[in-house]
Amino acid sequence: MGKTYEGGVPLAEVVRSGFVEGGHRGSVVVLDATGAPLAAAGDVTAPIFPRSASKPMQTIGMLRAGLPLTDPADLALVSASHAGEDFHLARVGALLDRAGLDASALHCPPDLPAGVAAREAVLRAGGGPSRVQMNCSGKHSGMLLTCEAAGWPRDGYWRPEHPLQQRLRATVEEFTGEPTAAVGVDGCGAPVLAVSLTGLAGAYLRLVDAEPGSAPRRVADAMRAHPEIVGGTQADDTRLMRGVPGLLAKVGAEGVFAVGLPGVGAVALKIDDGADRARMPVLVSALRRLGVDAPVLTEYAEAPLFGGGLPVGAIRPLW
């Protein structure tokens, strides 16, 4: 049996009214521009599920298998964990129309939009969950288009043994430089592959350093050119890519975040309890170790904590 994730170390504290009431443990690795480790905390060599932080690599695998998309905005959508805003849903619908399919072809489960504003709008209008609204519907639409282009069956396109998923697994292993340690079922029903945080950070560095025009660079450039499609109007990865020129960023469920910046380095982290609120303060601390600075990082350096509707404390990085 391979090495299992040992868990992380204290990375952030929760301070309310000057009193430390809790904290978050996790692991984080920082690579320099050459890919060498610059700093690390916790267990960064054992496998974890990167969840949606794997999506850029999956999109690369789809392109190599024949995904017939040339519009960078479409590639950003295939790589996205979108918020279910109107412009996201319209683009997903257009991809399905292109393949002559409707939402019933998607294997991702019906869901409400991930974005708070979009979700509230659906509920106010009397709507409910749908497959297109699920935040991975862009990826699943890309998978269906890839199967059509490659001549693979659409039936079971999400199963690990399907030729599509075998191709995507090989791509993830290529870019992380690691064999898959475990295969799980992601929230959207597609496979999720276990790799280390060090491998994940290295993959993001390879994406941003790839040759212009290559499949990896096309994906990285598309995401950076259309950050609002990757996440949503107010998503953390969207705002980071807007605020730090050249940065490639992608969140993953269960407290995962990965970023790469050409000529600077890369970061991958996991908050062990899956808390989103701790990710950004820890990521900012890691980026500052690479000498990255921008106003958006100051905004994210601490996550505000509220009491009675007023700020009374913050989630602060310890690392």
Tens-digit pLDDT profile for residues 92-134 = 999 999 999 999 999 999 999 998 999 999 999 999 999 999 9
What does the pLDDT average to over 144-161?
Answer: 98
The pLDDT assigned to 2 comes to: 67
What does the pLDDT average to over 156-168?
Answer: 98
Percentage above 70 pLDDT, the chain: 99
* Secondary-structure breakdown of the chain: helix, strand, coil percentages, each rounded to the nearest 5: 40, 20, 40
pLDDT in tens, 203-226: 999 999 999 999 999 999 999 999
Q: Report the C-alpha gap between 63 and 43 in whole angstroms.
A: 33
Res. 202: pLDDT tops 70: yes
Q: Are 13 and 303 in contact (CB under 8 A)?
A: no
What does the pLDDT average to over 36-49?
Answer: 98
Query: Cα dihedral angle (162, 167, 168, 169), rounded to 10 degrees?
Result: 90
Structural Rg of the chain based on CA atoms: 19
Q: Report the C-alpha gap between 131 and 140 in whole angstroms.
A: 10
Q: Report the C-alpha gap between 146 and 124 in whole angstroms.
A: 36
What does the pLDDT average to over 233-240?
Answer: 97
pLDDT in tens, 63-92: 999 999 999 999 999 999 999 999 999 999
Res. 282: pLDDT tops 90: yes
What does the pLDDT average to over 165-183?
Answer: 98
Res. 177: pLDDT tops 60: yes
Q: What's the DSSP call for residue 211?
A: P
What does the pLDDT average to over 27-32?
Answer: 98
Res. 1: pLDDT tops 50: no
The pLDDT assigned to 3 comes to: 84
Q: How many other β-carbons are positioned within 10 Å of the β-carbon of residue 71?
A: 12
Closest by CA to 277, choosing from 28, 75, 11, is 11
The pLDDT assigned to 284 comes to: 98
Supply 78's token pair.
Answer: 């295939």
Q: Report the C-alpha gap between 63 and 167 in whole angstroms.
A: 11
The pLDDT assigned to 17 comes to: 98
Supply 68's token pair.
Answer: 């017939």
pTM of the model: 0.96
**Which residue type does 275 have?**
A
